[in-house]
Structure 1
Amino acid sequence: MQAKKRYFILVSAGACLLLLFCFGGIQVPLSRRSLSRRDGGTFLPGARWRRSAGVVEPYSAGEQDPKDDANELRLRDSVPEKPCRMESCFDFSLCERNGFKVYIHPQQKGEKMSESYQNILSSIEGSRFFTPDPSQACVFVLGLDTLDRDQLSAQYVHNLKTKVQSLPQWNHGKNHIIFNLYSGTWPDYTEDLGFDIGLAMLAKASISTENFRPKFDISIPLFSKEHPRTGGQRGYLKYNAIPPFRKYLLVFKGKRYLTGIGSDTRNALYHVHNAEDVILLTTCKHGKDWHKHKDARCDKDNAEYDKYDYREMLYNSTFCLVPRGRRLGSFRFLEALQAACVPVTLSNGWELPFSEIIDWKTAAVIGDERLLLQVPSTVRSIHQEKILSLRQYTQFFWEAYFNSVDKIVLTTLEIIQDRVLQHKSRSKLMWNSLPGGLSALPQYSTYLGDFPFYYAKLEQDRSVRSSYAVLGMGCPPFFSWPYGECFSGMVTSPKFTAVIHIVSPLVSQSQPVMKLLTAVAKSQYCAQVIVVWNCGKSLPAKHRWPVTSLPVIVIEGENKVISSRFLPYDIIRTDAVLGLDEDAVLSTTEVEFAFTVWQSFPDRIVGYPARSHFWDSDKERWGYTSKWTNDYSMVLTGAAVYHKYYHYLYTTYLPASLKSTVDQMSNCEDILMNFLVSSVSKLPPIKVTQKKQYKETMMAQSSRASRWADPDHFAQRQTCMNDFAHWFGTMPLVHSQMRLDPVLFKDQVSILRKKYRDIERL
Structure 2
Amino acid sequence: MSGYTMLRNGGLGNGGQPWMLRWSSRIRLSWLSFTLFIILVFFPLIAHYYLTTIDDANDPDRRIFGPRTGNELCEVKHVQDLCRIRESVSEELLQLEAKRQELNSEIAKLNLKIEACKKSIENAKQDLLQLKNVISQTEHSYKELMAQNQPKLSLPIRLLPEKDDINIPLPKSKRNCGLHNCFDYSRCPLTSGFPVFVYNSDQYPFGNFIDPLIKQALEASVRNNVYVTENANNACIYVVLMGEMQEPVMPKPTELEEQLHSLPYWRTDGHNHLIINLSRKSETQNYLYNVSTGRAMIAQSTFYDLQYRPGFDIVVSPLVHAMSEPNFLEIPPQVPVKRKYLFSFQGEKIESLRSSLQEARSFEEEMEGNAPADYDDRIITTLKAVQDSKLDFVMVEFTCKNQAKPSLPTEWALCGERDDRLELLKQSTFALIITPGDSQLVISAGSAMRLFEALEVGAIPVILGEQVQLPYHDTIRWNEAVLILPKPRITEVHFLLRSISDNDLLSLRRQGRFLWETYFSTSDTVFNTILATVRTRIQIPAAPIKEEPAVEIPHRSGKAAGTDPNMADNGDLDLGPVETEPPYASPKYLRNFTLTAADIYRNWNTAPGPFHLFPHTPFDPLLPSEAKFLGSGTGFRPIGGGAGGSGKEFQAALGGNVPREQFTVVMLTYEREEVLMNSLERLNGLPYLNKVVVVWNSPKLPSEDLLWPDIGVPIVIVRTEKNSLNNRFLPWDQIETEAVLSIDDDAHLRHDEIMFGFRVWREARDRIVGFPGRYHAWDIPHRSWLYNSNYSCELSMVLTGAAFFHKYYAYLYSYVMPQAIRDMVDEYINCEDIAMNFLVSHITRKPPIKVTSRWTFRCPGCPQALSHDDSHFHERHKCINFFVKVYGYMPLLYTQFRVDSVLFKTRLPHDKTKCFKFI
TM-based fold match above 0.5: yes
Tell me if 1:214 matches 2:331.
no
> Do 2:771 and 2:854's aligned partners in 1 also have CA atoms closer than 8 Å?
yes
Deviations 1:101-138 (A, max 9, x none): 56573656977645455445444544544557767754
Percent identical among aligned pairs is 20
> How far, CA to CA, are the matches of 1:541 and 1:590 in structure 2?
29
Please say which of residues 626-635 and 162-171 is displaced more in the overlay. 626-635
> How far, CA to CA, are the matches of 2:668 and 2:683 in structure 1?
11
Give the match for residue 326 of structure 2: 230
Tell me if 1:444 matches 2:649.
no
Deviation of 1:218 (Å): 1.5
The 1:434–1:154 alpha-carbon spacing in structure 2 relative to 1, beyond 3 Å, is closer
Give the SS at the match of 1:578. Answer: strand
User: 5+ unaligned residues in a row in structure 2: which ranges?
Assistant: 1-169, 355-371, 406-414, 416-420, 542-592, 636-641, 643-654, 778-785, 909-913
> How far, CA to CA, are the matches of 1:758 and 1:686 in structure 2?
19
Give the match for residue 743 of structure 2: 580
Tell me if 1:355 matches 2:488.
no
> How far, CA to CA, are the matches of 2:212 and 2:610 in structure 1?
32
> How far, CA to CA, are the matches of 2:377 and 2:247 in structure 1?
27
Please say which of residues 86-95 and 624-633 is displaced more in the overlay. 624-633
Please give the TM-score of this superposition, normalised by the length of structure 2.
0.49
The 1:150–1:360 alpha-carbon spacing in structure 2 relative to 1, beyond 3 Å, is farther
Deviation of 1:354 (Å): 1.0
Give the SS at the match of 1:333. Answer: helix
Give the SS at the match of 1:552. Answer: coil
The 1:213–1:197 alpha-carbon spacing in structure 2 relative to 1, beyond 3 Å, is same
Q: What is the 5 A alignment of 1:101-116? A: 103=198, 105=200, 113-115=211-213
The 1:83–1:738 alpha-carbon spacing in structure 2 relative to 1, beyond 3 Å, is closer
- Which entry has the higher C-alpha Rg, 1 or 2? 2
Give the match for residue 24 of structure 2: none
Deviation of 1:451 (Å): 2.9
Give the SS at the match of 2:347. Answer: strand
Which of 489, 499, 516 is equivalent to 2:665?
499
Tell me if 1:413 matches 2:528.
no
Deviation of 1:411 (Å): 2.8
> How far, CA to CA, are the matches of 1:654 and 1:364 in structure 2?
25
Give the match for residue 677 of structure 2: 511
> Do 1:235 and 1:395's aligned partners in 2 also have CA atoms closer than 8 Å?
no
> Do 1:435 and 1:681's aligned partners in 2 also have CA atoms closer than 8 Å?
no
Q: What is the 5 A alignment of 1:190-209? A: 192=288, 197-209=293-305
> Do 1:251 and 1:321's aligned partners in 2 also have CA atoms closer than 8 Å?
no
> How far, CA to CA, are the matches of 1:435 and 1:568 in structure 2?
28
Give the SS at the match of 1:216. Answer: coil
Give the SS at the match of 1:410. Answer: helix
Give the SS at the match of 1:411. Answer: helix
Deviation of 1:359 (Å): 3.2
> How far, CA to CA, are the matches of 2:429 and 2:729 in structure 1?
48
Deviations 1:647-669 (A, max 9, x none): 45568768999999999x99998
User: 5+ unaligned residues in a row in structure 1: which ranges?
Assistant: 1-37, 44-80, 291-301, 303-307, 470-480, 615-623
> Do 1:357 and 1:428's aligned partners in 2 also have CA atoms closer than 8 Å?
no
The 1:380–1:667 alpha-carbon spacing in structure 2 relative to 1, beyond 3 Å, is closer
> Do 1:607 and 1:688's aligned partners in 2 also have CA atoms closer than 8 Å?
yes
> Do 1:314 and 1:339's aligned partners in 2 also have CA atoms closer than 8 Å?
no
Q: What is the 5 A alignment of 1:360-375? A: 360-368=478-486, 372-375=487-490
Tell me if 1:531 matches 2:703.
no
Tell me if 1:431 matches 2:573.
no
Give the match for residue 350 of structure 2: 257
Give the match for residue 187 of structure 2: 92
Tell me if 1:552 matches 2:722.
no
Give the match for residue 346 of structure 1: 465
The 1:735–1:394 alpha-carbon spacing in structure 2 relative to 1, beyond 3 Å, is closer
Give the match for residue 305 of structure 1: none
Give the match for residue 28 of structure 1: none
Which of 379, 389, 398 is equivalent to 1:269?
379
> How far, CA to CA, are the matches of 1:602 and 1:527 in structure 2?
16
> Do 1:234 and 1:399's aligned partners in 2 also have CA atoms closer than 8 Å?
no
Give the match for residue 176 of structure 1: 274
Counterpart residue identity of residue 404, structure 1: S
> Do 2:197 and 2:231's aligned partners in 1 also have CA atoms closer than 8 Å?
no
> How far, CA to CA, are the matches of 2:310 and 2:905 in structure 1?
68
Deviations 1:387-423 (A, max 9, x none): 9658734531441344612444433222222234447
Tell me if 1:376 matches 2:491.
yes
Give the match for residue 436 of structure 2: 324
Give the match for residue 424 of structure 2: 311
> How far, CA to CA, are the matches of 1:192 and 1:153 in structure 2?
16
Give the match for residue 4 of structure 1: none
Deviation of 1:357 (Å): 0.8
> Do 2:317 and 2:520's aligned partners in 1 also have CA atoms closer than 8 Å?
no
Deviation of 1:204 (Å): 1.5
Q: CA RMSD in A?
A: 6.7
Deviation of 1:497 (Å): 1.2
> Do 2:195 and 2:229's aligned partners in 1 also have CA atoms closer than 8 Å?
no
Deviation of 1:517 (Å): 0.8
Deviations 1:533-582 (A, max 9, x none): 66778999999524xxxx62455756869969854769845x53223344
Higher helix share: 2
> Do 1:501 and 1:531's aligned partners in 2 also have CA atoms closer than 8 Å?
yes
> Do 1:358 and 1:432's aligned partners in 2 also have CA atoms closer than 8 Å?
no
> Do 1:675 and 1:732's aligned partners in 2 also have CA atoms closer than 8 Å?
no
> How far, CA to CA, are the matches of 1:729 and 1:136 in structure 2?
45
> How far, CA to CA, are the matches of 1:345 and 1:421 in structure 2?
33
Give the SS at the match of 1:511. Answer: helix
Give the match for residue 521 of structure 2: 404
Q: What is the 5 A alignment of 1:677-692? A: 677=840, 680=843
Give the SS at the match of 2:463. Answer: strand
The 1:418–1:533 alpha-carbon spacing in structure 2 relative to 1, beyond 3 Å, is same
Q: What is the 5 A alignment of 1:658-697? A: 677=840, 680=843, 694=857, 697=859
Deviation of 1:642 (Å): 0.8
> How far, CA to CA, are the matches of 1:121 and 1:148 in structure 2?
15
> How far, CA to CA, are the matches of 2:534 and 2:695 in structure 1?
39
> How far, CA to CA, are the matches of 1:132 and 1:674 in structure 2?
41
> How far, CA to CA, are the matches of 1:668 and 1:632 in structure 2?
17
Give the match for residue 507 of structure 2: 392
> How far, CA to CA, are the matches of 1:136 and 1:564 in structure 2?
39
> How far, CA to CA, are the matches of 1:180 and 1:236 in structure 2?
29
